[in-house]
Amino acid sequence: MTPPFDLVIFDCDGVLVDSEPISNRELAAFLTELGHPTTLEDSIRDYMGGAMHRVHDTVLARSGQRLPDNFDDRFHERVFECFREELQPVPGVEGVLDWLATLGTRVCVASSGSHERIRMTLGKTGLLPRFPNHAIFSADDVGRGKPAPDLFLHAARTMGAEPQRCAVIEDSPLGVQAALAAGMRVFGFAAMTTAEKLAGAAAIFRAMPELLPLLRVTDT
């Protein structure tokens, strides 16, 4: 069977590793401690899938106050500590990666997180060996993060794949928008995000095994 895609691009947080509940919980708590009341639902709605500059920009626009210069470092320290204790791979994702490997379909990671965060979370969950260094891409590599298409286009270009031959697996509205802007086919993982907020995705799935038949589509 000839695979319909030359490259499958995975977001990291919430797609490969089950980090979104932890990360958004800690982000909401930290912002609240700093005088910017934020619930878990607020954090998921406003920041999930975005780079850290989105947090800074949103807080400044709403409050007129800048977050501390060391905000990013302090946040990453506390969330990494939680990851070391709690983080697990997304259920079923290893089976998806195994299946793609049997087809010979290349995979990569394109995440809004830093390279340090990507490698730490993949390492903690045992997924890092599946993604060599040349197949890991961070928003730090490009000028604009999601929802701009830059990160996905950079990943495809580096991996030698045409955008129309790429599938993107995303769980956030920002990620779906970025993949569509890049001219790629995107599949929305509605584990923490409602299907309505992933509008534009070619298909929606709620558990990783459901992704396998979607990746067999040929009308790309």
pLDDT tens for 36-54 read 999 999 999 999 877 789 9
Neighbours of 100 (CB within 10 A): 21
For residue 81, give its domain range.
Answer: 20-86
CATH of the domain at 53: 1.10.150.240
Q: Please check whether residues 111 and 187 belong to one and the same domain.
A: yes
Q: Which two tokens mark 137? A: 């891409």
Instruction: Kindly give, in sequence order, each residue whose CB lies less than 8 Å from that of residue 121, ignoring residues fewer than 6 positions away.
Output: 12, 13, 16, 17, 19, 83, 87, 113
Distance CA 68, CA 177 (A): 30
pLDDT digits (tens, 9 = 90+) for 19-39: 989 999 999 999 999 999 999
Q: Which of 13, 72, 141, 219 is catalytic?
A: 13
Q: Please check whether residues 150 and 177 belong to one and the same domain.
A: yes
Helix (H), strand (E) at residue 114? none
14 backbone φψ class: left, alpha, beta (φ>0; ψ -120 to 50): left
pTM score of the predicted model: 0.86
> Is residue 205 pLDDT above 80, yes or no?
yes
Annotation says 73 is catalytic: no
Q: Please check whether residues 96 and 170 belong to one and the same domain.
A: yes
Domain count, the chain: 2
pLDDT at residue 162, rounded to an integer: 97
* 2 falls within a domain: no
> Is residue 1 pLDDT above 60, yes or no?
no
Q: Please check whether residues 117 and 167 belong to one and the same domain.
A: yes
CATH of the domain at 187: 3.40.50.1000
If you average pLDDT over residues 166-195, what whole number do you get? Answer: 95
49 backbone φψ class: left, alpha, beta (φ>0; ψ -120 to 50): left
Q: Please check whether residues 51 and 142 belong to one and the same domain.
A: no
Annotation says 13 is catalytic: yes
* Cα pseudo-dihedral 42, 43, 45, 46, rounded to 10: 100
Strands (E) in the chain, as ranges, are 7-10, 106-111, 136-138, 166-170, 185-189, 203-205
